[in-house]
Structures are given as C-alpha cells and as structure tokens.
Amino acid sequence: MDEAFHILIVDDEPNIRSGLSKGLEELADDIATAGTVNEAIDKFDAGNFQLVIADVRLPGDRDGLELVSLVQQRRPGTTAIVITAHGTVETAVDAMRRGAFDFITKPVDLNLIRQQVAKAREHHQLQTENRQLRDKLAEVGEVSGIVGNCRALKEVLTQVRQVADTDATVLIQGESGTGKELIARAIHDLSDRSANPFVAVNLGALPESLLESELFGHEEGSFTGASRQKPGCFEVAAAGTLFLDEITEIPAKSQVDLLRVLETGQFARVGGEEPLESDARIVSATNRDVQQLVNDGTFREDLFYRLNIVPIEVPPLRRRRDDIPLLANHFLSHFCTRHCRPKKAIDAEAMDVLISASWPGNIRQLRNVIERLVVTTGGDRISAAELPAELARKPNGETNVIVTLADAVEHAEKNAIQVALAASDCHRERTAQTLGVSVRTLHYKMNRYGLH
C-alpha cells in the first residue's frame, strides 16, 4: 500500500516553518524542519524523506536550489518543491533542471501548497511503483534463469509477477519442454514465500500405491515398508509452494483426496487420525489439454476449477522463434563451460536452421541438441552440416541425408509410438502394452519426443 511519506521543510523564517508544518500535517506521516542548507543536509542524511520543500533564499553560502541538487545526488528520486519570493522564470527553470518537481511563490497560499504537496505525494508513489515493477521485471528472469525476450514470453512473465505476490492457485499449461517448471519456480521465487520450501512432486512418475503417502505422508507401520513416520509434500511445503507436476496423471481416487485438501486445507497422514493443516500455495502443471480430459470425464471438473484459478499458458518454442538465437547461445556458453570446452559460435546458416526447425520437444530439445553439439563437435564454429538431420527435415517430407544411428533409432521409436497411440485412441496402457514397454517408459518417451 502507500509507503511512508516524510517531509523536510527548509526555511530561515520560523513562522513559515511552523505555518507549513501545521498546514501540511495531514498530508504527511512525519514533518521535520531546518533553517539552513547544512542543517537540512544533516537531517536529510539521518532521516528518510520523500519530499523536501525548500526556500530558494537561505542564509549561508548555499541556497535552496543547491539543496535540490544535493538531495538528488544523495537520493535520486526524492521529490523537491522550492519556494521563491519573486517567482522568476529563470529560477523555476533552474529548479526543475536540478530535479525539483514543482515550485511555489511567496506569499505562501496554504490551500494551493496543500494541493501541490498532494500531487507530489501521488507522483512519488507512482515513481516508486514503476521502479518496483521494473526491478521485478529484471528479477523474474534473473532469479529463475529464464532466458528470453520475445513478446509471448514477456506476457507470461507479466502474469508471473502479478500472481506471485498473491496466494492464488495457478495452473500452468504448455507443451512438454516449454519451461513450465521454471515458471513455477519463478512464481515461488518472486513470492513472499520464497524463503520457505518449494516442493515439486511429479504425479506422473509415482505409482498409485505410493502417491497418497507422498502427498500426505504416513504414520509408522501404516503399510509394509512404512518403518517410520514420514511427512508428505503438503506438510513439507506448508508456508511454501507445492508444485504438482503432471497433474492430469493423478488417479481418480487421489483426485478426490486432493480436492478435499484444496477445499478445506486439511488432510491426514496415511494411517493417521490427526487432522493436519497446510496452507501451501498450489501451483500445478500439465502438458495435456485438461479441458478435453474434463470433457472426456477422466479429470474431475470440480478439481479442475480449483486448480485453474489463474491459468498461465506457456507458448511452444515455435511461437517464440525470436528467442531461439538467445537461447541457443545461452545453452552453448553454458555447456561449453560445463564440459570444459573452448568457446564456440553457431554460424549464420546453422542458426537459420535452428530458427526454422519445428522443435516438437521445445526448449528441452533445443537444450539437448546444443549440449550434444558441444560434446560431439570440434572446432570453434558449429556449421549447419553438423546439426542433427531431424532439424532440417520438413514435418512429413523424406530426406536422403545421412543421420546418425542414434537419430535414426529415435526417429523410428517416435514413429512407432505415434502409430500405436493413434491405434489405441491415445489410451496409454494399451499403447504401452502394444509396444511391450511399461506405462512409465512410454510416458517418459512421449515426453521426450513431445508427443501428446
């Protein structure tokens, strides 16, 4: 809300000092006065003043205009108003150049000066808010290592900032590898919960039997293998942020449990009676179309509404192509350092291929491609010929370029999964069965290839 507003009044006439102090009482949280520039500077340095009102003519060798400059040097952004007996244009212009916000002519009209001070206060507050916004804008990226400059990403970051300071439940949607987890962390890092834990739990990676205990904890002896009491994610994340990743993978029974905690803030450990409370801030994420799953009846509508208070949509990389050079160079220098390789550059032709590739695996895929290039290529330039062939391949076109065996295997694997998925109407268990792999393996591969 409104921050403190302290005024320093500087005038050599005691009458004016006391008159202004009284007249402005209601507009300030605190008012101090000084009779000379030296006294004013001492008080200014010792205090925390947002507005300085100074007479131009002051005893001693420094006048009120100089005071305005001194104040600006010491604390830029301090608002200043000067008072002059004979308001000449020169004085006014000089005062403004030195950073004064407004000026007043004597004899002092208290009503007028009240209006000017009210305006100065408003101006000061706006300035502060703008500065805070700017600082935070820089922070979002810096704090959480989010690279990117394009409009689509900036819009997401604006939402992140707006929502961070609230406790609102956020649902982050976007394709695999678009940076959803990074966004979840940014929300936490910029919130007033940042000193408390950020707990991430991947609901797709947990077998149903362990899920409940992971989320809510368990009591000693509550099931085979529960040798000790263990707190769950809701408990650990209390006062912090609980990130529920791959939220749509949660089984029907656990959807009910989760809904209950979200509604009441209460839960119990598995095998426990004692009701526990958690006010963890919930951020969840998914790379699937939740609305579709709700329509299909596989995801509870009431749970969806609870989770989707603030929706954030993270755009795929193909919708932020402007950021590809920035990201590619970022990963390049990151991996050169990490793998102790000399600095490399991507040549223009290679960069064009990167910019126009379809990137079904989004930023994760770009990151992997660059890491592989850092490790497998020599020299100080990466050329188009060194890029994996899949990048240049048109979505359905066939090419005759030679690919590495690993790329060929990946390509064939991806194809097989796509065909099996289509054949089973995207039923994951059936697809896994057809392909002779576990659901987890299938899931992992689908994520890796950006298949939904």
Out of 181, 289, 386, 413, the residue judged to bind Mg ion by CB under 5 A: 181
Strand order in the sheet with 281-286: 198-202, 241-245, 281-286, 170-173, 310-313
Stretch that binds ligand ATP, among 123-131, 337-345, 361-369, 378-386 (CB under 6 A): 361-369
Nearer to ligand ATP, 68 or 157 (CB): 157
Where residue 297 falls (left for φ over 0; alpha for ψ -120 to 50; beta otherwise) is left
For residue 278, the partner it binds in Mg ion, ligand ATP, none, with Cβ less than 5 to 8 A by kind, is: none
Residue 360 as a binder of ligand ATP (CB under 6 A): the answer is no
* Residues between 65 and 94 with contacts to ligand ATP, criterion CB under 6 A: none
The rounded distance, in Å, linking the Cα atoms of 396 and 390 is: 11
> DSSP secondary structure string, 17-83?
HHHHHHHHGGG-SEEEEESSHHHHHHHHHHS--SEEEEESS-SSS--HHHHHHHHHHHSTT-EEEEE
Minimum CB distance to Mg ion, residue 181 (Å):
4
Longest dimension (CA), the chain: 93
Residue 320 in the binding site for ligand ATP (CB under 6 A): no
| 182 lines the binding site for Mg ion (CB under 5 A) | no
Instruction: Give which of Mg ion, ligand ATP, none residue 363 binds (C-beta under 5 to 8 Å, depending on kind).
Output: ligand ATP
Measure the CA–CA gap between 127 and 165, rounded to whole angstroms: 20
Q: Could you tell me if residue 84 is left (phi over 0), alpha (psi between -120 and 50 degrees) or otherwise beta?
A: beta
Q: Which does 287 bind (CB under 5 to 8 A by kind): Mg ion, ligand ATP, none?
A: ligand ATP
Tell me how far apart the alpha carbons of residues 120 and 416 are, in angstroms, rounded to a whole number. Answer: 68
Choose one: 127-135, 161-169, 227-235, 362-370; the region binding ligand ATP (CB under 6 A).
362-370
Work out which of 10, 28, 146, 270 binds ligand ATP, going by CB under 6 A. 146
User: 148 touches which of Mg ion, ligand ATP, none (CB within 5 to 8 A by kind)?
Assistant: ligand ATP
**Which residue is nearest to Mg ion, using beta carbons?**
181
Question: Residue 447: which residues within 8 A CB-CB, separation 6 or more?
Answer: 176, 177, 287
Omega of the bond leading into 342 within 30 degrees of 0 (cis): no
Angle at 123 between CA 121 and CA 128, to 5 degrees: 95
* Rg of the Cα atoms in the chain: 31
Our CB check for Mg ion shows the closer of 181 and 371 to be 181
Question: Does the protein bind ligand ATP through residue 181 (CB under 6 A)?
Answer: yes
Of 21-29, 125-133, 173-181, 226-234, which part binds ligand ATP (CB under 6 A)? Answer: 173-181
Interaction site with Mg ion (CB under 5 A): 181
Interaction site with ligand ATP (CB under 6 A): 145-148, 174, 176-182, 287, 363-364, 367, 447
